[in-house]
Structure 1
Amino acid sequence: MGASERLKGKGLTMSLVERSRSLSKLLGDGVEQLGEMFQVELQLAQAELSEKVANVGWGAAYLAAATLFAVPVLTLLLAALALWISDLSGISLPLSLVTAAVIGAALGAICGVTAMKYLRAKNLRPDITLEQIRRDIAAAKDIVK
């Protein structure tokens, strides 16, 4: 009696067809799980982007409110600065108004540059989701190998 017949008698052999079916089933299951995983990742990306857009919306609303309150206050402060410069230095009121306006413009530019740093596109990127997708792609490559 041959080795193959002894193994068959013990139920230890698997036919080529059975092996092929189990391998194709495993590959099919793997592909199905990858598809489900990418769907979950897309849902995560949508949720993360939604949260970031909401944060930008709130930031813009607060910035608008701050501007609304800040404009009259800054106008009065710059006028007071101009009067103080005129009294202190003895230069004419129009020249002290221009000096105060230049100081106000410089402060406004600094604030504008700072605001733009917070509103950059990279701050809206869903970093957590992108990192997870990179891991998923690496895992998918490992499965296919």
Structure 2
Amino acid sequence: MLSPVKRVDLRKLVFWIALTLVVMNYTAGVFVYRNYARKLSNAKALCTVRFEDGSIAGKIVVEGFEGLKIRPVDYQVYFYDRRGNVLKMVSNSMFGRSEVEFVTSAWTGYEQRDWHAEGYSNVSVEWLWLKLNLFLPLEVKIE
């Protein structure tokens, strides 16, 4: 009599191969996502604003993306009073440039400093196969 040879069950083999591929894909995804998140956390968008002769002059700089393809899309800077009413909004396209400047007229009463400013910049980011459109808060500094 021949020695008993275990027959390989095809369904079990396919199951274990599929499970191994799923676990490997998940593990690779976790490491890729962590690296992507770390790179995004290094990003900064800065806005420097100067008031001179009744006008507002500013400079927007988007920086800090190492190894990522970044295309700044646009920016918005809002000037609010104490109650949250918008006193002035400045916005424009950046056309993929990481640094732009703007000049616009100021509102009456800006000298009293009874307001605050905040802003956002929309950017398009590409890394490996990941593509993402996101907004970065602008850090507004008044000179």
When normalised by structure 1's length, the TM-score is: 0.35
Structure with the largest fraction of helix? 1
Higher Cα radius of gyration:
1
Structure with the largest fraction of strand? 2
When normalised by structure 2's length, the TM-score is: 0.35
